[in-house]
Amino acid sequence: MKVAVIMGGISAEREVSLTSGRACAEALRGENFEVAEVDAAPDTLLADLHEAAPDVIFNALHGDWGEDGKVHGLLERFGKPYTHSGVAASKLAMNKEWAKAVFRLHGITVPGGGATPRARIGDGGVLPAPYVVKPNGSGSSASVYIVEDETPDILSQIMSDDGLGAEPIVEPFIPGRELTVAVMDGHAICVTEIIPESGWYDYHAKYGDGGSRHVVEPELPAGVAEQAMRWAETAHLALGCRGVSRADYRFDDTEWPENHSESDVVNRLVMLELNTQPGMTPTSLVPEQCAHVGLSFGKLCRWMVEDATWPRTAQKERGKPAFRR
């Protein structure tokens, strides 16, 4: 079987995608697939895929165009099985405002706030500080601001940062711990706590050497890990995701009550977003969780190829677990 790994792309996350794609290509060769590496561009992708003539396309793109439903539309036109989510789920998940609305409908706690014209943010007072300003449709913590004090300098930076888009998301800052849950074919794997060295999970913390520490299956108050995993599965299916996704949370454990109730867990565990094409290197969060439950990076990449379909329609129910806890 021949697999074309598409990577690179045109977004701010191009370098991250190249790293993911090369790692997946190497892993798939180790699993005895024939692999073609394709540096994807909107104007040439279909021609490059016709030249490569693959049986399956492995989508290792991140960010704008590669993760928001656009490239998925091209892959549907190409007519060969491909990995990750399809057009609708990818577009829905990439738009944080839309995704939050779906999560709310399914009983998942999400931050307040929402999409706000950037000019309005520059006037100040849109939310009580501290609050977060981030793009409505990109990832990797690029162009993310934690506004602890509305100084003229920080408001000016926000006004001049075109990476935020016309209507970025403005949300209350949630103190506490950073958690993430990978979902594979509708089944949550486990919980990882991310401990950034810089104080918050910015771009360097995600991708820089020594930027953060990952604690797989950390000690958490009773019920928190279970709730995070249930919500991750719910969100994956509610958006119609396929293959692998990753749900990101903040858990506010400040002044945590010793005799906490279920409502404390529901109110203080907050889903920030769901990533339909998470980072894919052997040390990325999803492969790290898979390794923890006995699924090697190579076997994970193999499963993703074998799971590929065309057309890539929404997942309606959970598949058979490909891992053991």
Q: Which of 65-74, 209-218, 289-298 has the lowest mean pLDDT?
A: 209-218
Q: How many Å apart are CA 323 and CA 304, to the nearest integer?
A: 13
Of 110-124, 217-231, 292-306, 309-323, the one with minimum mean pLDDT is 309-323
Within this chain, do residues 136 and 256 fall inside the same structural domain, yes or no? no
Q: What are the pLDDT digits (tens) for 138-186?
A: 655 578 999 999 999 999 999 999 989 999 999 999 999 999 999 999 9
Question: Is residue 209 predicted with pLDDT exceeding 80?
Answer: no
Encoded amino acid at 62, one letter: H
pLDDT in tens, 181-204: 999 999 999 999 999 886 555 444
Mean pLDDT calculated for residue range 267-291? 94
Q: pLDDT grade, residue 67 (50/70/90)?
A: very high
Instruction: Say yes or no: 131 and 219 in one domain.
Output: no
Residue 17 is assigned to a structural domain of this protein: yes
Contacts of 157 (CB under 8 A, 6+ apart): 145
**Distance between CA atoms of residues 24 and 110, nearest Å:** 32
**Which pLDDT score is estimated for 205?**
47
pTM for this predicted structure: 0.93
Q: Which domain holds residue 21?
A: 2-83
Q: Give me the sign of the Cα torsion angle 213, 217, 221, 227.
A: positive
Q: Is the dihedral of CA 87, 207, 246, 102 positive or negative?
A: negative
The SS3 of residue 285 is helix
Give the residue-averaged pLDDT of 35-49.
98
76 and 121 in a single domain? The answer is: no
Same domain, 149 and 190: no
Task: Give CA angle at 189 (295, 143), nearest 5°.
Answer: 105
